Structure 1
Amino acid sequence: LSWISKIQVNQPAVLRRAEQIQARRPVKKEWQAAWLLKAVTFIDLTTLSGDDTSSNIQRLCYKAKYPIREDLLKALNMHDKGITTAAVCVYPARVCDAVKALKAAGCDIPVASVATGFPAGQTHLKTRLEEIRLAVEDGASEVDVVINRTLVLTGQWE
């Protein structure tokens, strides 16, 4: 990972590009709804509450399958498009609940999980690796990994 410290950024070019993006006209009228609906399909609907229960996860999964009210979708003539969120994201201990709820709902929305001592990443490497393994074993198709911030700040990339 020593390549990270060798990355060079053309800051003036990045700033110019950021200004160009900000100056663009926003999406208007009929296309605005289409782009907002598309944005919903990129969302990982997430709960990372310490008091989550299986019933909370079931409600979250239902919301992931039906993120937009049916009457709104009908008004936009989009009720038959199967718009869902991209994934449901939960703590590793709740992956099984999410997989079960999504299967019961008859949908194939992926389950994502945070891992490796989220949010601080202050656990032993062996523990973090086991947490990843268990999340995948329980059905997570994506695992968001937290790195130890102290190691980053001190440049310890290996």
Structure 2
Amino acid sequence: MTTGNPGTRLDLEWISKVRVNTQAVLKRAQQIQGQKILKKQWQAAWLLKAVTCIDLTTLAGDDTPSNVHRLCLKAIQPIRYDLLRKMDMHNKGVSTAAVCVYPSRVADAVRSLKAANSSLPVASVATGFPAGQETTTEHARKSTGVAVA
């Protein structure tokens, strides 16, 4: 006994009765084809919007102040100026949402952004994510709840 959907028999006669307004289809196809430029503009706009919603992140264990500084400059201007100019977006302040670094590099990021007159936020990861970047003392305190001297 079948308990599922038994389906429907294919009725080719029904398909042969289908009529298509060829002129209307062709007219609509031409309209859609003519909208390619608009579509590309919308795609570019959404891609730019996506850039403004992401954090530019470095979680390399060997980050240096100069690495963080370069990351901050990239976050302030993530898209090449000439490309922004072609889209007439060069003066719209397109930047990433934030810069994300390990806690030990937050001061470097803040210093770099301040030097560049940027109000871009700095984010940081907690508990040594993802590579366990914390001191042995911090790790012992977190795992046992006891302060280690």
TM-score bin, normalised by smaller chain: 0.5 to 0.7
1:39 to 39, 43, 50: 50
Structure 1 counterpart of 2:106? 95
Classify 1:34/1:125 alpha carbon distance in 2 versus 1 (closer, same or farther; 3 Å): farther
Query: What is the letter of the counterpart of residue 86 of structure 2?
Result: A
Query: What is the letter of the counterpart of residue 40 of structure 2?
Result: K
> Identical aligned pairs, as a percentage?
69
The reply to whether residue 77 of structure 1 matches residue 101 of structure 2 is: no
Query: What is the letter of the counterpart of residue 79 of structure 1?
Result: H
Structure 1 counterpart of 2:68? 57
Shift >6 Å, 4+ stretches: none
CA distance in 2, matches of 1:79, 1:88: 21
Give the 3-state SS of the residue equivalent to 1:115 in structure 2.
coil
Once the two structures are superposed, residues 39-93 of structure 1 have per-residue CA deviations (whole angstroms, 9 ceiling, x without a partner) of: 0001100000011000000000000001000000000000010001000000000
Unaligned ranges ≥5, structure 1: 1-26, 128-158
Structure 2 counterpart of 1:30? 41
Count of aligned pairs between the two proteins: 102
RMSD of Structure 2 on Structure 1 (CA): 2.3
Classify 1:118/1:37 alpha carbon distance in 2 versus 1 (closer, same or farther; 3 Å): same
Unaligned ranges ≥5, structure 2: 1-37, 144-149
Structure 1 counterpart of 2:118? 107
1:68 to 66, 76, 79: 79
- Tell which structure's C-alpha radius of gyration is larger: 2
What is the TM-score of this pair, normalised by structure 2? 0.63
CA distance in 1, matches of 2:131, 2:77: 32
Deviation of the 1:28 alpha carbon: 3.2
What is the TM-score of this pair, normalised by structure 1? 0.59
